Amino acid sequence: MKKHKQVLTKHRTVKDLFPSRYWHYRSLLESKAAYEKIEKGLFFIGHPRSGHSILGALLDAHPDIALSHELDALAFLNAKFSKRQLVQMIINRSKQFAKAGNQWMGYRYKVPGGYQGRINQLKLVGDKRGGTTTKWFRQSPELFDKLKAMFPDTLFIYMYRNPFDSITTSFFRSQKRRGGNFDKADLFRKTDHFFDHAKLIHQFEEQALFDFRSIRAEFFLDNPEEVLKSLLNRFAVEAPEDYLKNCTSILFQKPPKRRSELGLWDSRTIDYVFQRMEETPYFWGYTFED
C-alpha cells in the first residue's frame, strides 16, 4: 500500500503539488508570450523639461497602456534586448515609478484612480525619454529601424514649449549641477544646443519612418482632454470619461515662465533666439513676453 502511494506521488504534476504557483507561472508565461504580439508603440523625442513627463504619466495611467518613465528604451535595443525583454523592462519601470510615488524633479505625477504600474489589457507600450532619443538619432540612427521592426505601428511625440523658458531652465540646471556663475557665452551655447536639437528633430520628422506629432505644451494644458482623446483614438484605445477627468485634475493651468528669472536676457540674446527660431517650423509665434 505504501509503495502504491509513492508511485502516485511520483507522477503528480507541479499543477497538483503547487496549484497557486502553477497558475502564477502559467499566467506569467502566457503574458510574456503575448508581448510578442504587441505592435503598437508610443515614444517621445525632444528636449528636457518640455512637458513629456506629465503627458507620459497620464498615458501610463490608462488601464491598457504601459509607458515607462525615463527607461531609455533605445539603449536596451542597442544592447540587443529582445522584444519580449524590452516590453518587460517597460512594464517593470512603470511599476517602479508608481512604487516611488510617481515623483520626478520635484513634481508628483500620480493620477487619482489611475493604472500607473498596473495593466488591465495591454494594447500599447512606450517610453518617456525625449532628450536622449534625439541623441540616439544622431549617434545610431539604425536603432530606429530595429524599433520599427519591433513595433510597426509606432507614434513619436515631440512636445515643446516657449524656447525662452526651455533654454532658461536648461541654463539654471547646468549652473546648479556644475557650480559657479554662468555668463552670456553660456546662454548662447545653451541656445545653440537647444536649436541644434530642434533641427535634428525636424530631420527625424521629415525622414517619415514613423508617424509623428508635434504638440505645444501650452496647447496641451489648454486642451488636455482633446489631446489625450486624439492620441488614444490614434491607437483605437478607449478614452473613458473618468480617466480623462482624473488626468486633467493634476495639471497646471499654465507652464511656469522661468525666463523672467534670468537677468542675462537682453536685446542681443533675445534677437539671437528669434533668429534661430526661424530654422524649424515649430516655434513660430512664440515671443519673449507671452
pLDDT tens digits along 151-194:
999 999 999 999 999 999 999 988 878 877 789 999 999 999 99
The count of other CB atoms within 10 Å of the CB of residue 21 is 11
Q: To which H or E segment does residue 147 belong?
A: helix 142-150
Whether 186 contacts 171, CB under 8 Å: yes
Please give the model's pTM, rounded to 2 decimal places.
0.86
Phi first, then psi: what are they for 45, rounded to 5°? -140, 145
Query: What is the pLDDT averaged over residues 194-220?
Result: 96
Distance CA(111)–CA(250), nearest Å, equals 7
Assess whether pLDDT exceeds 80 at residue 272: yes
Q: 3-class SS at 153?
A: strand
Lowest average pLDDT, out of 23-37, 77-91, 244-258, goes to 23-37
Residue ranges per domain, the chain?
A: 35-277
Whether 188 contacts 272, CB under 8 Å: yes
Q: Give the tens place of pLDDT for each residue, 110-139.
A: 999 999 999 999 999 999 998 899 999 999
Assess whether pLDDT exceeds 60 at residue 147: yes
Query: Residue 24's pLDDT band (boundaries 50, 70, 90)?
Result: very low
The count of other CB atoms within 10 Å of the CB of residue 144 is 22
CA torsion sign for 74, 76, 81, 85 is negative
Q: Which pLDDT does position 19 carry in this prediction?
A: 52
For 168-197, letters b (16+ CB in 10 Å) and e give bbbbbeeeeeeeeebeeebbbebbeebbeb
Q: Which pLDDT does position 86 carry in this prediction?
A: 94
Whether 47 contacts 166, CB under 8 Å: yes
Could you tell me the three cell numbers for 131? 532628450
Q: Which pLDDT does position 179 carry in this prediction?
A: 78
Q: Which residue has the higher pLDDT, 252 or 253?
A: 252
Phi first, then psi: what are they for 253, rounded to 5°? -75, -40
Assess whether pLDDT exceeds 90 at residue 26: no
Phi first, then psi: what are they for 211, rounded to 5°? -65, 140
In the predicted model, what is the mean pLDDT of the chain? 88
Whether 159 contacts 217, CB under 8 Å: yes
Q: Which pLDDT does position 167 carry in this prediction?
A: 95
Could you tell me the three cell numbers for 275? 533668429
Assess whether pLDDT exceeds 60 at residue 16: no
Radius of gyration for the alpha carbons in the chain, expressed in angstroms and rounded:
23
DSSP 111: P
Architecture of domain 35-277: 3-Layer(aba) Sandwich (3.40)
Assess whether pLDDT exceeds 50 at residue 254: yes
Q: Which pLDDT does position 127 carry in this prediction?
A: 96
Assess whether pLDDT exceeds 90 at residue 148: yes
